[in-house]
Structure 1
């Protein structure tokens, strides 16, 4: 039997599983991670805590399986977050700046006035503080000369290999605002825009490239690192995606909606073009990121004084619909496909009959309509969605998934597996050894219950509320 140990280093947890070539999970471990807001818009983590949590869960899983059957490690990681460190001592040169961190918003807005179109053309990304380059520049400005930077995958590979490999996986590199999507290399013009010296950056490697082997405390030496992928990209691979037929939506704190475009570098207004992964050839994708989905449910639960999102769902299910109430959770502006940092959260359509249940229902509607906005933005004229594959914790809500099917007007195929990203990156690792890992299996399917007229009326109410949010 061949076993891959897969690590998913996320924003709030580090998780590891042992998975065999038939797709069975043989062991698992997890550990929570801290995240702190040190000033308005500043969101930070501790690089050493991320490393310690990652090596801990890997070691716990390795201890549960036969060592001689482990063929290697695979890593999926939170994207866009940035680490800077001393390449000699390995000491972090400041905090991890999270993908949620917006301290560089003013800098990005000023740069976008001059360079926004060019950056979008080269990278497929809007010049937004979510992405890595402005965070890298900020950290390097505070750090001593000779400091190096990278994304979380760079940091983990550097630590795992005892400092012998300073690399970044190509899909993660595509989220930095520094990589040219056509050449798959750092672009000198972009380095100049952000003021980042090339010597501080890692080498870009394929998702199954030369990633080294373990040479660190806490793990056996010599285990090859077979694959690295950004987490949303790994989830697409776990769904069997990559070609245009598969659209996936991951429901977490925010949401990622992604459609593979194969070898075609496709662009659509309002959504990002990104490199999904690079193995024997590049595989591109369209993606839209929603900042508040699961967190919008949590916010509404707090507002209404109910325990959690599950309790909110029970309350929402006591009414047939929101009765005209619409929540737009633009608490930090709107992401894809609107990209409006000035938008504000709104709750509209309230009437004398509105109560907590209608507001709760509006929160579930809001998640579904945001995903529908992104999915529709990905379509060319005349195209239609056949189905969306869904993963993430919030897919446990039957109400949300049915609401999603109604907002999209297509089937929503729910994958009950909690760690689709781990399956995806493990698939790339197994492919290195000639083993084809099966895609994640569906657990249930939700079909639209709305007529075309009902769906359009609901979408029109949502669009009207969006206009108020933006105004």
Structure 2
């Protein structure tokens, strides 16, 4: 028996089959770089991302027997808006590093709402202001996990897991529901948002893939790497140098005592949710790590 893993990073996608003994029996990768049309702007082609995810997954599944589950790991906070009826993206995808809403964040902070531009919240509002100013179109909004789950389920499931939802800037303090106050301020209709689900469980069928295996796991890439490095209980920490640099650690079931940035420069994150039980962690982030090496080349 195998598990199909779809990993959508900032600079590329990967699909792999993982056997029961954790060996990788098939793996396919595609470089898919974002665009930067101007300083501070980071955009990507969401349709190309969806097509690549399907192609890589189907190639990994070619000839495979008894694939029992699909897992999704993804770049976090990157934002996509698409038409619910057609599944066609509306406007560009906005990368998590995109800084076009810095001004809006400063205005909102002066009004008492603290949002960082690397979160999804103001990116969603910007896309809607550009493409649906009246908020009257039947649109879906979401992060990359939502988009991939929608894609591989043939549009049947509009979901996001708790680890990704918590990094949108749109959730309540407990991270288990959308915050109506923030939605009202940014004029984001709740009906456009995905359902927040556990990180593991029976999350729906991937009917667009051969055999329609169940989607059983979704997590942001850094939370997934915590699990991969064995950092599942308080104590150890891991640091990942990818496009950006992220230092993460698990602290347990109690939420940190600060809502946004703590005194040490860390931010609260949800590391997983299973059976409705939330596990919290802390993260320190720098926007550019591997990209600095690419620039030096």
User: Do both proteins adopt the same fold according to a TM-score greater than 0.5, normalized to the shorter chain?
Assistant: yes
Task: Give the Å deviation of 1:131.
Answer: 0.5
Provide the residue aligned with 2:189 in structure 1. 197
Verify: 1:11 aligned to 2:10, yes or no.
yes
Provide the residue aligned with 2:240 in structure 1. 250
Task: Give the Å deviation of 1:146.
Answer: 1.8
Cα distance, 1:138–1:148 mapped onto 2, change above 3 Å? same
Contact kept? 1:9, 1:77, Cα under 8 Å: yes
Task: Give the Å deviation of 1:183.
Answer: 5.2
Deviations 1:420-454 (A, max 9, x none): xxxxxxxxxxxxxxxxxxxxxxxxxxxxxxxxxxx
SS at match of 2:3: strand
Task: Give the Å deviation of 1:254.
Answer: 1.3
Verify: 1:59 aligned to 2:58, yes or no.
yes
Provide the residue aligned with 2:249 in structure 1. 259
Contact kept? 2:11, 2:243, Cα under 8 Å: no
Verify: 1:279 aligned to 2:274, yes or no.
yes
* Aligned mates of 2:188, 2:202 — CA distance in 1: 24
SS at match of 2:43: strand
Once the two structures are superposed, the pairs formed by residues 370-409 of structure 1 within 5 Å of their partners are: none
Provide the residue aligned with 2:127 in structure 1. 139
Q: What are structure 1's unaligned runs of at least 5 residues?
A: 120-126, 302-307, 309-471
Once the two structures are superposed, the pairs formed by residues 99-248 of structure 1 within 5 Å of their partners are: 99-116=96-113, 119=114, 127-144=115-132, 145-182=137-174, 184-216=176-208, 219-248=209-238
Contact kept? 1:35, 1:43, Cα under 8 Å: yes
**Which is greater in Rg?**
1
Provide the residue aligned with 1:340 in structure 2. none
Aligned counterpart in structure 1 of residue 287 of structure 2, from 279, 284, 291:
291
Task: Give the Å deviation of 1:210.
Answer: 4.3
Verify: 1:50 aligned to 2:46, yes or no.
no
SS at match of 1:4: strand
Q: Which has the higher strand share?
A: 2
Contact kept? 1:181, 1:274, Cα under 8 Å: no
Q: Which has the higher helix share?
A: 1
SS at match of 1:115: coil
Task: Give the Å deviation of 1:178.
Answer: 0.6
Compute the TM-score of the two structures, normalised by the length of structure 1.
0.59
Supply the RMSD in Å over aligned alpha carbons. Answer: 1.5
What is the count of residue pairs matched by the alignment? 287
Task: Give the Å deviation of 1:229.
Answer: 0.5
* Aligned mates of 2:279, 2:174 — CA distance in 1: 12
Cα distance, 1:183–1:105 mapped onto 2, change above 3 Å? closer
Deviations 1:290-328 (A, max 9, x none): 1222233344x3xxxxxx4xxxxxxxxxxxxxxxxxxxx
Task: Give the Å deviation of 1:64.
Answer: 4.9
* Aligned mates of 1:285, 1:193 — CA distance in 2: 28
SS at match of 1:185: coil
SS at match of 2:112: helix
* Aligned mates of 1:183, 1:232 — CA distance in 2: 17
* Aligned mates of 2:18, 2:173 — CA distance in 1: 32
* Aligned mates of 2:131, 2:97 — CA distance in 1: 21
* Aligned mates of 1:11, 1:184 — CA distance in 2: 26
* Aligned mates of 2:151, 2:290 — CA distance in 1: 32
Contact kept? 1:242, 1:285, Cα under 8 Å: no
Contact kept? 1:275, 1:285, Cα under 8 Å: yes
* Aligned mates of 1:298, 1:201 — CA distance in 2: 35
* Aligned mates of 2:19, 2:278 — CA distance in 1: 26
Provide the residue aligned with 1:321 in structure 2. none
* Aligned mates of 2:289, 2:8 — CA distance in 1: 20
Q: What are structure 2's unaligned runs of at least 5 residues?
A: none
Using the TM superposition, name which of 101-110 and 16-25 deviates more: 16-25
Compute the TM-score of the two structures, normalised by the length of structure 2.
0.92
Cα distance, 1:134–1:225 mapped onto 2, change above 3 Å? same
Deviations 1:234-273 (A, max 9, x none): 0011111132211110011210100111112124322110
